Amino acid sequence: MGHDRNNQTPPLPVLFEERETQDNNAPLVDESIVTPEYFHLLGMTLRRGRFFADFDNENAPAVAVINETMARTYWPNEDALGKHLKLTRRATSWTTIVGIVADTRAESLEEARVPVIYSNLYQRGAHHLAIFLRGHLDSAAIPDQVRKEVQSVDPTLPVFGAQMLNETVSVSLAQRRFAMIIVVLFALTALLLTGLGIYGVISYIVSERTHEIGIRLALGAEKRDILKMVLRQGLGLAIAGAVVGLAGSVMVSHLITGLLYGVKPTDPATFGAVAVILMSVALIACYVPARRAMRVDPMIALRHE
Q: pLDDT tier at 303 (50, 70, 90 boundaries)?
A: low
Query: Using DSSP, how many helices (H) and how many strands (E) does the chain show?
Result: 10, 10
Residues 103, 8, single domain; the answer is: yes
* Structural domain includes residue 151: no
Split into its structural domains, the chain has a count of 2
Q: What percent of the chain has pLDDT over 70?
A: 86
Residues 195, 127, single domain; the answer is: no
Residue 22 has pLDDT above 50, yes or no: no
Q: pLDDT tier at 4 (50, 70, 90 boundaries)?
A: low
Last residue of a domain, one of 132, 149, 184: 132
Q: Determine phi and psi for 30, rounding to 5 degrees.
A: -65, 135
Residues 14, 103, single domain; the answer is: yes
Q: What's the whole-model pTM score?
A: 0.60
Angle between helices 210-218 and 223-252 (to 10 degrees): 140
* Structural domain includes residue 232: yes
Residues 126, 182, single domain; the answer is: no
Beta-carbon count within 10 A of 282 CB: 24
User: Can you give the pLDDT at residue 49?
Assistant: 93
* Cα 227 to Cα 23, 206, 209, 213, 240, distances in angstroms: 76, 11, 13, 10, 20
Last residue of a domain, one of 101, 132, 163: 132
Across 30-39, 98-107, 206-215, least confident range: 206-215
Residues 120, 227, single domain; the answer is: no
Of residues 78, 28, 18, the one with CA closest to residue 48 = 78
* Structural domain includes residue 251: yes
User: Can you give the pLDDT at residue 47?
Assistant: 93
Last residue of a domain, one of 80, 98, 132: 132
User: Can you give the pLDDT at residue 23?
Assistant: 46
* Structural domain includes residue 158: no
* Structural domain includes residue 284: yes
Query: How far apart are alpha carbons 224 and 230 in whole angstroms?
Result: 10
Q: pLDDT tier at 276 (50, 70, 90 boundaries)?
A: confident
Average pLDDT rounded to a whole number, residues 96-105: 90
Residue numbers of the domain that contains 254 = 174-304
User: Can you give the pLDDT at residue 21?
Assistant: 46
* Structural domain includes residue 243: yes
Average pLDDT rounded to a whole number, residues 76-85: 89
* Structural domain includes residue 150: no
| Per-residue pLDDT tens over the stretch 106-142 | 666 666 678 899 999 888 877 777 888 887 777 777 8
